[in-house]
Amino acid sequence: MPRRLTLLSLALLQGCYSPHPSGQLDANSDATLPDATRAIDAVPLVPGINVSDLTGNTDEKGQTATFQLVLNSVPTSNVTVHFASDNDAEAITNVTSLTFTPADAMQARMVTVTGVDDGIADGTQTVHIVFTSTTSNDSRYANIVPQPRAFNNVDNGRARVCLTLDEYLDGTLSCPTGRVVGTIDFASYGNPAGMCGSFALGSCHATQSAAVVAATCVTHASCMVAAQNAVFGAPCLGINKRLYIQATCE
């Protein structure tokens, strides 16, 4: 009976129900309900995943935004929604899946998206939160793929530049047009390892490497550096040395 009254109230609100000629609401009979209203009683809510737009944009300084998800009906089994940023170099989510149970299916859940500094002066970039098929033992909720949600990751105007030189060679560390070297994030004359963005010290390292490079390069759009003992000292003997530099241009 409570459900019938709720549906009749819905019909009244939608203007699709005409009261009984006697003026009494007949809650025990479908005779006066339009076919469409009677059909509501027999058809369950359509399964689906409701996803909000993001609350705003992110930026390369770590600005965050959020979005929410909720099921629009109660499943018979757990439902897991899978998602991720389509460009992890620009933005990442704090989780990559959420599982809804029959008990909490109608409670909205929040996901946080954080902007990432890619070290490239590439301007504002459009990023998407993309979804893959849901997983569930409830066949109505299996293999649902919500539409992507777009947002922007705002560039911070900083660019990462690197220079690698073998011993006895010299080279130029250069910033993009309109920028100068702001900081020396890594410098090692010896046997450093790794790639730009993930350089690491080796067993041989001239401790004054960063100070020497900073004195030569900071505030300049470009600077010439020589990988030589005469510049950095001789941190170790009997090995071929190299110079790795990573700087941030501003």
The secondary structure of 102-125 as a DSSP string is TTTTTS-EEEEEEE---SS----E
- The segment(s) of the chain belonging to CATH 2.60.40.10 are 49-154
Residue 158: the pLDDT is 80
Look up the CATH number of domain 49-154.
2.60.40.10
Residue 215: the pLDDT is 97
Q: Is the pTM of this model over 0.85?
A: no
Determine the angle formed by the axes of helices 2-13 and 35-42, rounding to 10 degrees: 140
User: Can you say whether the dihedral through the CA atoms of 204, 209, 210, 211 is positive or negative?
Assistant: positive
- The segment(s) of the chain belonging to CATH 2.60.120.740 are 159-249
- Give the CATH architecture of domain 159-249: Sandwich (2.60)
CA distance 35 to 14: 14
Residue 145: the pLDDT is 97
How many residues are present in the chain? 250
The residue ranges of the chain whose pLDDT is under 70 are: 1-44
Residue 152: the pLDDT is 95
Residue 10: the pLDDT is 37
